[in-house]
């Protein structure tokens, strides 16, 4: 039984790139390349969690030993990161131009389905409260009752698609171009259209905005998520270098995903950031111990 190794993005909101090992009716998935969560058919037609496998330790929980093919595929897996296969992308569309505005979803071509979609872009999970934009802090009021920076972002992006937001699936080619497929509230001429790679934002949201504040807000958003965006293959060197500078300032998040980076331009910067992450982890452990 042959194993499949691939990766897919978690989107709307973006929460990183998941690595998958798939064998028959079993799979293992990981967000960091170290801890793998195993799922398999329970024999009654349900796919359920069956264990946790950790690099260097093996199976640490569950009944994964009942699925030796999956464990063997994990132990013999190729180098990380695995190829990204979700090349069919759903883009929220700019209301005026009809061009891609923000990435909502991505699927593998073999698993693509048109089903009902949420036509609102989300910058973060609803429970996340940590986001801060330096640009927005300079311009927005502070204190009790002040708008949260994540809310400003959400209104900024979704407002450009409303009223009656539309979205379209595109089959992306290796050169970045895209073939328009089905969608939601599409103009008749848009189905089957072809857009060049430059028509698509390189990251999650377009950086083409009318005001300096709007541009800065999107720049700060991508910088905030930089460790996880560096997991994308195909970024230009200029974009990757800019994201690296931001990611070195977020060492704890970087430490979670550095094994999944397909390319590193500033290797010395990465190493320094990982040292900073270890120091932060030790300091937090000491603080927790005094609690």
Spatial contact of 82 and 5, defined as CB atoms under 8 Å apart: yes
Q: Is the pLDDT of residue 289 over 60?
A: no
Residue 172, beta-bridge partner list: 178
What integer pLDDT is reported at residue 288 of this predicted model? 45
Tokens 């390189």 belong to 202
**Segment 278-288 mean pLDDT:** 75
pLDDT in tens, 31-62: 999 999 999 987 777 889 999 999 999 999 99
Percent with pLDDT over 90 in the chain: 83
Q: Is the pLDDT of residue 145 over 80?
A: no
What integer pLDDT is reported at residue 281 of this predicted model? 87
Percent with pLDDT over 70 in the chain: 97
SS3 per-residue string spanning the chain: CCEEEEEEECCCCCCCEEEEEEECCEEEEECCCCEEEEEEECCCCCEEEEEEEECCCEEEEECHHHCHHHHHHHHCCCCCCCCECCCEEEEEECCCCCCEEEEEEEECHHHCCCCCCCCCCCCCCCCCCCCCCHHHHHHCCCCCCCCCHHHHHHHHHHHCCCCCCCEEEEEECCCCCEEEEEEECCCHHHCCCEECHHHCCCCCECCCCCCHHHHHHHHHHHHHCHHHHCCCCCCCHHHHHHHHHHHCCCHHHHHHHHHHCCCCCCHHHHHHHHHHHHHHHHHHHHHHHHC
Q: How far apart are CA 141 and CA 114, in angstroms?
A: 42
pLDDT in tens, 186-218: 998 898 999 999 999 999 999 999 999 999 999
Angle, helices 212-224/237-247, rounded to nearest 10 degrees: 70
Q: Is the pLDDT of residue 157 over 50?
A: yes
Q: How confident is the model at residue 291 (pLDDT cuts 50, 70, 90)?
A: very low
Q: Is the pLDDT of residue 290 over 70?
A: no
What integer pLDDT is reported at residue 285 of this predicted model? 61
What integer pLDDT is reported at residue 284 of this predicted model? 78
Give Cα separations from 44 to 29, 50, 52 (angstroms).
22, 14, 21
Q: Is the pLDDT of residue 246 over 50?
A: yes
Q: How far apart are CA 213 and CA 104, in angstroms?
A: 23
pLDDT in tens, 53-93: 999 999 999 998 889 999 999 999 999 999 999 999 999 99
What integer pLDDT is reported at residue 142 of this predicted model? 76
Counting beta carbons within 10 angstroms of the beta carbon of residue 210, is it exposed (0 to 12), middle (13 to 18) or buried (19 or more)? exposed
What integer pLDDT is reported at residue 286 of this predicted model? 56
What integer pLDDT is reported at residue 45 of this predicted model? 73
């Amino acid at each position: 039984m042959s194993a499949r190794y691939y990766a897919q993005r978690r989107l709307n909101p973006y929460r990183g790139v998941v690595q998958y090992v798939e064998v028959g009716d079993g799979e293992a998935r990981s967000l960091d390349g170290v801890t793998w969560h195993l799922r398999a058919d329970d024999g009654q037609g349900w796919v359920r969690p069956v264990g946790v496998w950790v690099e260097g330790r093996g199976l640490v929980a569950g009944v994964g030993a009942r699925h030796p093919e999956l464990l063997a595929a994990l132990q013999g897996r190729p180098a990380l990161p695995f190829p990204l296969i979700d090349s069919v992308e759903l883009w929220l569309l700019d209301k005026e131009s009809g061009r891609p505005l923000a990435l909502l979803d991505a699927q593998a071509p073999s698993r693509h389905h048109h089903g009902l979609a949420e036509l609102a872009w989300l910058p973060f999970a609803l429970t996340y409260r940590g986001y801060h934009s330096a640009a927005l802090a300079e311009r927005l009021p502070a204190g009790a009752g002040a708008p949260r920076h994540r809310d400003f972002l959400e209104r900024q992006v979704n407002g450009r698609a409303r009223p009656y937001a539309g979205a379209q699936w595109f089959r992306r080619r290796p050169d970045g171009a895209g073939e328009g497929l089905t969608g939601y509230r599409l103009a008749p001429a848009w189905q089957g259209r072809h857009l060049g790679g430059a028509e698509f934002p390189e990251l999650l949201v377009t950086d083409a905005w009318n005001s300096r504040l709007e541009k800065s807000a999107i720049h700060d958003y991508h910088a905030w998520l930089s460790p996880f965006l560096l997991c994308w293959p195909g970024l230009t060197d200029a974009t990757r270098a800019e994201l690296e500078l931001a990611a070195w300032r977020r060492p704890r998040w970087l430490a979670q995903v550095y094994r999944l980076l397909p390319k590193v331009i500033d290797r010395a910067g990465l190493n320094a950031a990982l040292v900073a992450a270890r120091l932060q982890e030790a300091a937090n452990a000491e603080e927790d111990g005094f609690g």
